[in-house]
Amino acid sequence: MGTHSLSLEEIMSMIREFVKERDWEKFHKPSALAMSVSIELGELLELFQWKSDDEILESLKEKEYSDAVRAEVADVLIYTLRLADVMGVDVAKAIAEKMEKNIAKYPVEHWDGKAPSKLNRREPE
Ligand SMILES: [Mg+2]
């Protein structure tokens, strides 16, 4: 199967089919899936534990490490997409809407080069 040009909907269908074939839909309640996202994110963080950002970037040059990071990133995304699917969230639409809000909330002229911290929020006008 070619995997380089899969659409978001094709990816979500692949996940849906995988779950259905195994009769796992009964386990895929929103809270269990949200926990699973968090657990997989923990597994990703475990790969970063005790390493500086420079050490992480250096480790990514090793195949075993970069494969492990890629696998955990995939796990986080798979459970996130599954959670969205079960809850009827249109992922592309939700992201597009949220990005529009982010663009309005963080105008480039104020935020260029600044970290989005509560401490450097612009005063309400
Ligand atoms: Mg994992």
Write out pLDDT tens, residues 40-87: 999 999 999 999 999 999 999 999 999 999 999 999 999 999 999 999
pLDDT given at position 120: 75
State in Å: Cα 28 to ligand 1 middle.
17
Alpha helices in 8-90 (DSSP H): 8-21, 30-48, 53-59, 63-86
pLDDT (average), residues 23-44: 98
State in Å: Cα 115 to ligand 1 middle.
30
Whether 112 is covered by a domain: the verdict is no
d(CA 12, CA 29): 16
State in Å: Cα 116 to ligand 1 middle.
29
Whether 102 is covered by a domain: the verdict is no
Give the SS3 label for residue 79.
helix
Residue with tokens 């995997």: 3
Number of folded domains that form the chain? 1
State in Å: Cα 62 to ligand 1 middle.
19
Residues 6 or more apart whose CB falls under 8 angstroms from that of 60 comprise 66, 69
Whether 28 is covered by a domain: the verdict is yes
Whether 45 is covered by a domain: the verdict is yes
State in Å: Cα 68 to ligand 1 middle.
9
Whether 21 is covered by a domain: the verdict is yes
State in Å: Cα 59 to ligand 1 middle.
18
Whether 97 is covered by a domain: the verdict is no
Rounded to the nearest 10 degrees, what angle do helices 91-105 and 63-86 cross at?
Answer: 100
State in Å: Cα 72 to ligand 1 middle.
5
State in Å: Cα 56 to ligand 1 middle.
18
pLDDT (average), residues 24-52: 98
pTM exceeding the 0.75 threshold for the entire prediction: yes
How far from the centroid of its chain's Cα atoms is residue 99's Cα? 15
CATH number of 83's domain: 1.10.287.1080
- Full domain range(s) for residue 24: 8-89
Whether 106 is covered by a domain: the verdict is no
Whether 125 is covered by a domain: the verdict is no
